[in-house]
């Protein structure tokens, strides 16, 4: 018998039962990574489809949203926040800089370290999308009461290590 993913013996598939129920719940119904991925897709897909209304791709939206209320971010930090790998981020930033949406600027402490800053043109481009994003969030969270909304956001922050 081979060792399983968690170091034990591999055996038959684990069946999960809801409390008081004799029929098993499909694995993906209670598997956190799968549920988070489904929730993310469900929540973001309709909003992402509307980004073209503001002339933004999803990567551009993420970059501008991340930069919208900070005074510059390093490329690695921005890539992590915008859910991109650094080489892809560099290509996106090159296009965005050519379009005048962002600019690279060396830091005063270390001229070799570059921070990415949003430009006034980038801020103007993302402003209506930010307002639409907040309205979209309110609409998606509307079925929940205030305590539940706060709990959802708190739990997500804890899961990503920001709590």
Task: Let me know: does 115 contact 73? Beta carbons within 8 Å.
Answer: yes
Pick the residue with more confidence: 112 or 75?
A: 75
Domain ranges of the chain: 56-159
- Global pTM reads 0.80
Q: What three-state secondary structure class fits 94?
A: helix
As a whole number, mean pLDDT of residues 7-20 equals: 55
In whole numbers, what is the pLDDT of the chain averaged over residues?
88
Q: Is the pLDDT of residue 2 over 60?
A: no
* Interior angle at CA 90, CA 88 and CA 91, nearest 5: 65
Burial class (CB in 10 A: 0-12, 13-18, 19+), 92: buried
Mean pLDDT of 37-41: 95
Read off the tokens for 131. 């307002």
Positive/negative CA dihedral, 115, 118, 119, 121:
positive
How far, in whole angstroms, is CA 113 from its chain's centroid? 25
Percent of the residues in the chain that have a pLDDT greater than 70, as a whole number: 85
Q: Are 101 and 121 in contact (CB under 8 A)?
A: yes
Rg (CA), the chain: 21
Is the confidence at residue 25, as pLDDT, over 80? Answer: no
The single residue listed with the structure tokens 């991925």 is 37
Does the pLDDT of residue 4 top 50, yes or no? no
- Please check whether the domain covering 56-159 is classified as CATH 3.30.360.10: no
Where does the pLDDT of residue 9 fall: very low under 50, low under 70, confident under 90, or very high at 90 and above? low
């Amino acid at each position: 018998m081979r060792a399983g993913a968690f170091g034990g013996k591999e055996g038959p598939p684990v069946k999960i039962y809801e409390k008081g129920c004799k029929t098993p719940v499909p694995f993906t119904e209670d598997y956190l990574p799968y549920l988070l991925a489904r929730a993310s897709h469900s929540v973001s897909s309709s909003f992402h489809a509307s980004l073209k209304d503001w002339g933004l791709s999803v990567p551009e939206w993420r970059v501008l949203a991340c930069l919208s209320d900070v005074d510059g971010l390093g490329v690695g930090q921005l890539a992590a926040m915008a859910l991109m790998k650094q080489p892809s981020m560099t290509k996106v930033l090159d296009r965005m800089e050519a379009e005048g949406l962002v600019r690279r600027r060396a830091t005063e402490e270390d001229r070799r370290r570059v921070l990415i800053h949003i430009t006034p043109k980038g801020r103007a481009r993302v402003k209506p999308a930010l307002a639409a994003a907040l309205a979209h969030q309110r609409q998606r969270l509307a079925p929940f009461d205030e305590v539940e909304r706060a709990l959802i956001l708190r739990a997500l922050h804890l899961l990503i290590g920001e709590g």
